[in-house]
A and B are shown apart, each in its own frame.
Chain A
């Protein structure tokens, strides 16, 4: 990245975070031995990598952890004078995501079983990406919903380093906004549906 001609310009996301950048290449000189594989094969390699990325994006383990965290938050937050975790409407929302996640875990295991037989992940990994990101987004929304008014404070912004509200509420709304990216990156979920319809269903 220190090679002359490489310039990185940060792009801030809507939650104020900086995790993506514009990278400019201005007559960057690269030695020929740094070529990866063969010339003109980049997209083929990329597609192979993307199929793996898609199965990784599913993030089943991370979502399992997130569900537990939401249950803890809902146990601490009060709603109608009782812990939120006792609110049937909220219980149902958690359970719905949990069932989806359990199914996805086995969809992923089935994909991996096929993968270990040596064929490599196919276009059906798009399903993992779509369902996995749906679940992640649903979970960030539930966490935001759980903390009620304390989803509002924007901590760690340039204007305020003061911490207000319960610890677990810090940045839950920011995370919800940030995770809108999940249905966009790695090939948007519309693109993934396009892949499934073409490559899996042959439409």
Chain B
């Protein structure tokens, strides 16, 4: 097998790497997260110029028609620089829903504006009681002539403060945990009936509570079929999970490398602490966790994502295993840095925090372990019966 990048992928990788190197040094990044908005418009314009906003979109709409590997490349480098602009929630997740479900008119109208950087969509899916179950939706949309009236509360919507538009998952039929009956509505962030409570997250990104009160939208704002959005929501969240894990991998590489260097240079009792076997073995374990995480990401990227069962299995395998690597590499990066690692001032803690919160995003280790078990072991039970 050949895991080398193609020529185009190498070019993309070099481009994102040099963007991060030239525009995202540590001081710059720290100054961005301290601003009210928590992201930088100029960086978004530059993503547009570099073509990064078009990576997942088709060439017909002016995109690059990129593959999951291309998105992995972008996200891995963003992870290395802890890039805070909402690329994952808007370009990959919301963009994926629009491409997948949008009518010809909708995609023709919206996708070019996403690619040019003029519009940013985000997807409001989580509710407090839903935890990681995407089908657990209380937010309701009631039909009112040619319109719908939406009411509900969406939790922790990443990037909403930076968005121009929002896609809301609302229940049009069925009970709270029914997979059938979920419909997606698109609307402008400023619409009457939508209130955002923006806040910084513990890892210095931005999220919002989205309060929806009697939001009136026309049926033209529906993305896809009424009642039938769930399968596509699951698919696009799965794809975004791969992207999130790619970001995590970039972060783990930094955590591992910076910690290894630190241990080589930090002297205690007259010698570098890396001369202690306990430290050496810990660093070796971190390195092995990183390599295993990378391998399972490559497994996911090269699997047949068009087959829903295969996709579900591979994504849950990836997210669960990645979460385990995040915990081991992250916690030990701090431990081996000692007091230094605990400080806000030193960059390593920021990488640890981001990696940890990616561990929660789209479902944690246990959630995906359970999903993986259900998908892979149900056949065994059937066989025995």
Asked if B202 contacts A153 (CB within 8 A), the reply is yes
**Which A residues are in CB contact (< 8 Å) with B360?**
144, 148-149, 151-152
For the complex formed, measure the closest distance between the CB of B168 and the CB atoms of chain A, giving whole angstroms: 16
Within the complex, the shortest CB–CB distance from B183 to chain A, in Å, comes to: 21
Number of CB contacts from chain A to chain B under 8 A? 125
For B337, give the chain A residue with the smallest CB separation: A184
Q: Tell me if A106 is interfacial: C-beta within 8 Å of chain B.
A: no
Q: Which of B133, B207, B360 gathers most chain A CB within 10 Å? A: B360
User: When the two chains form their complex, are residues B200 and A14 in contact, meaning their CB atoms are under 8 A apart?
Assistant: no
Complex interface: stretch among B11-19, B231-239, B350-358:
B350-358
Shortest CB-to-CB span from B375 to chain A, Å, is 15
Task: Give the CA-CA distance A123 to B335 in the complex, in Å.
Answer: 22
Residues of chain A in range 117-167 having any CB-CB distance to chain B below 8 Å:
144-145, 148-155, 157, 159-160, 162, 164-166
- Known A14-B352, A89-B366, A149-B155: A181·B342 in contact at CB below 8 Å: yes
- Bound-state CA distance A81–B137 (Å) is 11
Out of B155, B197, B344, name the residue touching A13 (CB < 8 Å): B344
8 A Cβ contacts from B112-154 to A: 126, 128-133, 136
Q: Does B36 contact A (CB under 8 A)?
A: yes
A155 to B209 Cα, complex, angstroms: 13
Is A5 an interface position by the 8 A CB rule?
A: no
Which size bracket describes the interface of A in this complex?
35 or more
The residues of A that contact B352 with a CB separation of less than 8 Å are 14, 177, 180
Is B177 positioned at the interface, with any CB of A under 8 Å from its CB? yes
| Interface secondary structure of A, over-half rule | mixed
- Contact B155–A150 (Cβ < 8 Å): yes
CA distance A183 to B34 in the complex (A): 30
Q: How far is the CB of B331 from chain A (nearest CB, A)?
A: 7
Choose one: A79, A90, A148, A184; the contact of B339 (CB below 8 Å).
Answer: A184
Q: What distance in Å separates the Cβ of B172 from its nearest Cβ neighbour in chain A?
A: 20
Contacts of B197 in A (CB 8 A): 162, 164
Residues A11 and B343 in contact, CB atoms below 8 Å apart: yes
A164 in contact with B209 given A89-B370, A149-B155, A188-B338 (CB within 8 Å):
yes
Whether A12 is near chain B, meaning CB under 8 Å from some CB there, is: yes
Give 1 or 0 for each of B153-182: 1 = CB within 8 Å of chain A CB.
001100000000000000000000100000
In the assembled complex, how far is the CB of residue B212 from the closest CB belonging to chain A, in whole angstroms?
15
**Contact status B350-A14, CB under 8 Å:** yes
Given that A13-B344, A180-B342 are contacting pairs, would A151 and B202 also be in contact in the complex, using a CB cutoff of 8 Å?
A: yes
Residues of B within 8 A of A189 (CB): 335
Interchain CA distance A166-B153 in the complex, whole Å: 13
Q: Is A59 engaged at the interface, CB distance under 8 Å to the other chain?
A: no
Contacts A11-B343, A152-B357 known; A165 to B128 CB distance under 8 Å? yes
CB distance from B320 to the nearest CB of A (A): 12
Residues of chain A at the chain B interface (Cβ within 8 Å): 11-16, 20, 77-81, 84, 87, 89-90, 144-145, 148-155, 157, 159-160, 162, 164-166, 173-174, 176-177, 180-181, 183-185, 188-190, 193
- A sample of 8 more A-B contacts (CB under 8 A), given A12-B343, A14-B342, A184-B342, is A84-B131, A154-B201, A159-B199, A160-B199, A177-B349, A180-B352, A190-B276, A190-B279
Task: Give 14 A-B contacts (CB < 8 Å), ordered by A residue.
Answer: A13-B343, A14-B353, A78-B129, A81-B133, A148-B131, A152-B156, A152-B201, A152-B202, A153-B156, A154-B202, A162-B197, A164-B197, A173-B202, A184-B338
